């Protein structure tokens, strides 16, 4: 199939932008010209996507980085393509907006434009079988990279949507410092997995074959490669990370993390109407409130809600606990401080 005309990855790019967004674009333009003069080239950082047997959601980001040395071994070149740009360099690297990205998946080939932050988040109509597949991504002068995609079968009726910070891993930092910690921690070894959660997730996946596991967080796309390695190293089931881009938008100074989660929850409910979701989060942010609202709006789409209760010290660092005492929805609702106890409670609720 021949390439279709480029289409923008975001729908807000042509609207009147917030003054801070225009300033950010000006800074990015200066940095891009400076980086290109230094010989940096566009590099695609692939993210895990998902889809049904009729379409896929492809995710990646385009950044400027030093070109790969031709003398590097094929193993190191492949590792760089898989892991992207690591640690603090992923934050200081220059995003490339409005650059065309070619996506090949199955028998389809399309071309889209990265948004102003270099992010590609697009839906491609394609027929694929359930299970893991690969999308091939390339842009101007870059080598091909592979983005894994999980295809949900039409008979799958259960899935997991999980928060990240303080749910699958313990940050043990005041909430305002989490972003800086994510920026300057160079790899996944310094992150602490939440006790028992990886085992719980693995048991859930075994009990519900083919079920998708989607990690929904307010974290920035910059940390996606590191979080992916963390999840893999600590034996969490593989799945898409749905993160966000920091900085101003077309109409506001800062992006809303709550809006990001709400939009993706609703989107997943629309994309997979046959799936009932187990929503997993913690009581240190807004997960309880968001999940309660979603369950009230879509009670037939929620299998249960599982909330990890933070310790007293973790709750202080997280800025306190939420007060969602009235859940208001007729769905199972369990809470505990660790994965093993949540496992027992979900077993009693009939999910295991």
**Six-digit token string for 288:** 């309880």
pLDDT of residue 105: 97
CATH topology of domain 158-348: Rossmann fold (3.40.50)
Beta-carbon contacts of residue 140 (< 8 Å; ≥ 6 apart): 42, 99, 100
Band of the pLDDT at 31, cuts 50, 70, 90? low
Beta-carbon contacts of residue 297 (< 8 Å; ≥ 6 apart): none
In tens, the pLDDT along 230-281 reads 899 999 999 999 998 754 444 444 455 688 999 999 999 999 999 999 999 9
Average pLDDT over residues 7-11: 44
pLDDT of residue 350: 94
CA distance to 42, 59, 317, per residue, from 183 (Å): 21, 21, 18
List, in sequence order, every residue forming a beta bridge with 307; answer none if it has no partner. Answer: 281, 335
Of the candidates 214, 162, 148, the residue with the CA atom closest to the CA atom of residue 193: 162
**Torsion sign (Cα): 34, 37, 39, 42:** positive
Q: Write the DSSP symbol of residue 283.
A: S
Each domain of the chain, given as residue ranges in start order, spans 7-151, 158-348
């Amino acid at each position: 199939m021949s390439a279709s005309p480029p289409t923008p990855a975001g729908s807000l790019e042509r609207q009147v932008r917030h003054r801070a967004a225009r300033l950010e674009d000006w800074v990015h333009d200066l940095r891009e010209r400076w980086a290109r003069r230094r010989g940096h080239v566009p590099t695609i950082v692939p993210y895990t996507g998902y889809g049904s047997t009729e379409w896929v959601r492809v995710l990646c980001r385009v950044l400027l980085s030093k070109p790969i040395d031709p003398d590097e071994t094929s193993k190191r070149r492949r590792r760089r393509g898989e892991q992207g740009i690591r640690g603090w360099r992923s934050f200081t690297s220059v995003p490339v907006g409005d650059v065309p990205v070619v996506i090949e998946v199955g028998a389809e080939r399309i071309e889209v434009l990265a948004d102003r932050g270099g992010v590609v988040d697009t839906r491609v109509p394609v027929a694929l079988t359930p299970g893991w597949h690969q999308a091939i991504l390339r842009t101007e002068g870059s080598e091909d990279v592979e983005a894994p995609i999980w295809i949900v079968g039409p008979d799958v009726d259960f899935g997991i949507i999980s928060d990240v910070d303080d749910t699958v891993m313990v940050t043990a930092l005041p909430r305002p410092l989490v972003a800086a910690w994510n920026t300057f921690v160079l790899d996944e070894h310094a992150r602490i997995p939440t006790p028992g959660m990886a085992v719980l997730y693995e048991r859930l996946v075994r009990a519900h074959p083919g079920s998708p596991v989607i990690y929904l967080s307010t974290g920035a796309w910059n940390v996606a490669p590191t979080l992916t390695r963390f999840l893999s190293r600590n034996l969490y089931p593989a799945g898409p990370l749905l993160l966000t881009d920091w900085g101003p938008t077309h109409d506001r100074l800062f992006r809303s993390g709550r809006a990001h989660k709400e939009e993706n929850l609703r989107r997943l409910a629309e994309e997979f109407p046959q799936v009932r979701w187990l929503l997993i989060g913690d009581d240190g942010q807004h997960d309880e409130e968001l999940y309660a609202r979603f369950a009230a709006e879509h009670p037939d789409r929620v299998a249960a809600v599982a909330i990890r209760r933070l310790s007293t010290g973790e709750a202080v660092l997280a800025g306190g606990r939420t007060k969602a005492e009235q859940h208001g929805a007729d769905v199972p609702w369990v809470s505990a401080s660790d994965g093993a106890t949540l496992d027992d409670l979900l077993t009693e609720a009939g999910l295991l």
